[in-house]
């Protein structure tokens, strides 16, 4: 059917272009992140041998964990130091030397800097949100085991992370000291999973579970794999982004023994896709472990069509699937990094049709109070009557589609469908 475009529909579509044209990607030449990494490494860690630099344990031991450490690397005014000390007394700092070297030193708005360095807004705007908006602690059936969906369970095995990401949903854990679940606690978790035969998917998370030694991790994974009804194991880790040196053959060989295992990682910006990070993902993939990316929509970091396009295209080139884009949770100490749902929708709408569907993550909000994830997307359905549905496409052109008259007992005549199990009318329009 030939497309038509009404002024009204064109206006509707133009909402998506309020801030930048859909599909827009700047052609401005930027310094490649690999070159910045190299220069910063020479500048700040010039005396460190390649052996140490590429050793994840050296990287971990030499994290920046205080304002004092930071001021030795980069000049900080007294005012900045005092402010950061105040912030870090509530929300500590932890940055691997590798990730620190990705920061564009002369740019206060650098997206890597904003994810890693403490900001006054973390405490200035505190108290207006919740420490645990997803109520993970309420939904913990035993400490560290969150059972929210019938067939999936989340195992939080440690609170240790190589880097403390300033937008972290679990930043409440940072003050509790560094802990790793004891063998007894892990055994209690495993007993629960064994007893609940409906659990087919176990997600191992933290903190970052890849901070555990390979041997320690294997004791946990092997026991999960021995449970007959567990079909898949997923590992949630930001290690490929902030400590790619941790991904080695020993780890990947171990994981490959317990297939099917999936890896969910967390790139937020294309500058994080260095050769080192891509090689880490490649090694995981070559061991038969699919890698998905779960990013968070963050103000001033990736909240534009251009930033998301570059990130998602970069991920696809690294063979990593853009899986979720999260609306930032309502976490205390992160208000300054949150964006509106409307902005998120405009970004997704600006991508849809302008790039492959493979490059577009599912935009979701994790509902406060433990309500679970809900997808958000702009509506392309404009109206329906007598079984005829009117859509707009990504260019704002109008197309019509005719429902079948009768399919499997669902009447398409008046365009209303019902879910036969729930006997509930399904909404015409998804969230806009
Ligand atoms: S790696 Fe994940 S759990 Fe750790 S601080 Fe970052 S976002 Fe939070």
Task: Report residue 162 as tokens.
Answer: 């190589």
Q: Give the CA diameter of the chain.
A: 75
What residue segments make up the domains of the chain, in order of their start? Answer: 33-124, 381-425
Handedness of CA 377, 14, 335, 293 (dihedral sign): positive
Q: What is the DSSP letter of 183?
A: H
Is residue 149 part of the annotated active site? The answer reads yes
Task: Report residue 402 as tokens.
Answer: 């005719």
Catalytic site residue from 165, 252, 281, 312:
165
How high is the pLDDT of residue 4?
Answer: 39
pLDDT tens per residue, range 80-131: 999 999 999 999 999 999 999 999 999 999 999 999 999 999 998 766 678 8
Task: Report residue 49 as tokens.
Answer: 């041998």
| 165 touches ligand 1 (CB under 6 Å) | yes
- Give me the half-sphere count of Cα atoms (radius 13 Å) on the Cβ side of residue 191: 9
Catalytic site residue from 194, 319, 373, 416:
373
- Three-state SS for 183-198 is HHHHHHHHHHHHHCCC
| Minimum-distance ligand 1 atom for the alpha carbon of 169 | 8
Is residue 101 part of the annotated active site? The answer reads no
Protein residue with least CA distance to atom 5, ligand 1? 164
Pick from 142, 126, 37, 113: nearest CA to 301: 113
Burial class, 146, CB count within 10 angstroms (exposed 0-12 / middle 13-18 / buried 19+): buried
Q: State in Å: Cα 95 to ligand 1 middle.
A: 11
Q: Is 239 helix (H, G, I), strand (E, B) or coil?
A: helix
Q: State in Å: Cα 177 to ligand 1 middle.
A: 15
Task: Report residue 203 as tokens.
Answer: 């997600």
| Minimum-distance ligand 1 atom for the alpha carbon of 206 | 3
Catalytic site residue from 113, 132, 166, 168:
168
How high is the pLDDT of residue 128?
Answer: 66
pTM: 0.88
| DSSP-assigned letters across all residues of 42-63 | HHHHTTS-HHHHT-HHHHHHT-
Instruction: List 407's β-bridge partners, or say none.
Output: 410
Is residue 176 part of the annotated active site? The answer reads no
328: phi > 0 → left, psi -120 to 50 → alpha, else beta; which?
Answer: beta
Angle at the Cα of 301 from the Cα atoms of 297 and 305, rounded to 5 degrees: 65
Is residue 275 part of the annotated active site? The answer reads no
Task: Report residue 231 as tokens.
Answer: 């079909």
- Residue 399: partners with Cβ closer than 8 Å, 6 or more residues away: 1, 3, 390, 391, 392, 393
pLDDT tens, the chain, 432 aa long: 333 334 333 333 333 344 455 544 455 567 888 899 999 999 999 999 999 999 999 999 999 999 999 999 988 999 999 999 999 999 999 999 999 999 999 999 999 999 999 999 999 876 667 888 777 777 789 988 999 899 999 999 999 999 999 999 988 888 776 789 999 999 999 999 999 999 999 999 989 999 999 999 999 999 999 999 999 999 999 999 999 999 999 999 999 999 999 999 999 999 999 999 999 999 999 999 999 999 999 999 999 999 999 999 999 999 999 999 999 999 999 999 999 999 999 999 999 999 999 999 999 999 988 888 999 999 999 999 988 999 999 999 999 999 988 666 554 444 444 444 444 444 443 332
- CB-based contact 381:390 (threshold 8 Å): yes
| 170 touches ligand 1 (CB under 6 Å) | yes
In angstroms, rounded to a whole number, what is the distance separating the alpha carbons of residues 377 and 431?
6
| 164 touches ligand 1 (CB under 6 Å) | yes
| Minimum-distance ligand 1 atom for the alpha carbon of 238 | 1
Is residue 282 part of the annotated active site? The answer reads no
How high is the pLDDT of residue 32?
Answer: 84
How high is the pLDDT of residue 28?
Answer: 57
Tell me whether strands 372-375 and 362-367 are parallel, antiparallel or unpaired: antiparallel
Handedness of CA 304, 310, 314, 319 (dihedral sign): positive
Is residue 399 part of the annotated active site? The answer reads no
How high is the pLDDT of residue 370?
Answer: 82
Is residue 366 part of the annotated active site? The answer reads yes
Task: Report residue 308 as tokens.
Answer: 């998301």
- Provide the CA 299 distance to its chain's centre, in angstroms: 14
In angstroms, rounded to a whole number, what is the distance separating the alpha carbons of residues 421 and 409?
13
- Three-state SS for 102-114 is CCCCCCCCCHHHH
């Amino acid at each position: 059917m030939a497309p038509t475009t009404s002024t009204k529909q064109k206006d509707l579509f133009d909402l998506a272009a309020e801030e930048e044209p859909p599909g827009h990607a700047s052609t401005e030449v930027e310094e490649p992140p690999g070159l910045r990494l190299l220069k910063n490494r020479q500048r700040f860690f010039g005396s460190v041998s390649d052996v140490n630099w590429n050793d994840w344990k050296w990287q971990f031991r030499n994290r920046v964990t205080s304002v004092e450490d930071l001021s030795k690397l980069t000049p900080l005014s007294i005012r900045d130091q005092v402010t950061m000390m105040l912030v870090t007394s509530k929300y500590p700092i932890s940055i691997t030397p590798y990730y620190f070297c990705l920061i564009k030193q002369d740019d206060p708005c650098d997206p890597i800097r904003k994810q890693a360095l403490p900001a006054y807004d973390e405490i200035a705007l505190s108290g207006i949100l919740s420490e645990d908006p997803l109520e993970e602690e309420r939904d913990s059936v035993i400490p560290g085991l969150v059972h929210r969906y019938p067939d999936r369970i989340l195992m939080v095995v440690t609170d240790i992370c190589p880097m403390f990401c300033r937008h972290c949903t679990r930043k409440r854990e940072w003050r509790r000291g560094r802990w790793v679940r004891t063998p007894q606690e892990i055994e209690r978790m495993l007993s629960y999973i064994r007893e609940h035969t409906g659990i087919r998917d176990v997600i191992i998370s933290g903190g970052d579970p890849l901070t555990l030694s390979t041997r320690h991790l294997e004791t946990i994974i092997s026991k999960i794999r021995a449970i007959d009804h567990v079909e898949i194991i997923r590992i949630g880790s930001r290690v490929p982004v902030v400590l790619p040196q941790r991904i080695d053959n020993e780890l990947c060989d171990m994981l490959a023994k317990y297939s099917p295992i999936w890896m969910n990682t967390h790139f937020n910006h294309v500058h994080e896709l260095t050769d080192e990070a891509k090689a880490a993902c490649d090694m995981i993939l070559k061991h038969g472990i699919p890698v998905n990316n779960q990013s968070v929509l963050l103000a001033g970091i990736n909240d534009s069509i251009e930033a998301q396009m570059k990130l998602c295209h970069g991920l696809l080139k690294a063979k990593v699937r853009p899986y979720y884009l999260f609306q930032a949770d309502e976490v205390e100490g992160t208000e300054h990094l949150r964006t509106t749902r409307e902005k998120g929708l405009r970004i997704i709408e600006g991508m849809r049709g302008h790039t492959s569907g493979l490059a577009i993550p599912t935009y979701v909000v994790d509902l406060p109070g433990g309500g679970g994830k809900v997808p958000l997307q702009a509506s392309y359905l404009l109206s329906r009557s007598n079984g005829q549905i009117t859509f707009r496409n990504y260019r704002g052109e109008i197309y019509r589609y005719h429902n079948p008259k009768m399919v499997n007992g669902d009447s398409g005549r008046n365009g209303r469908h019902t879910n036969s199990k729930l006997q509930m009318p399904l909404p015409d329009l998804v969230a806009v």
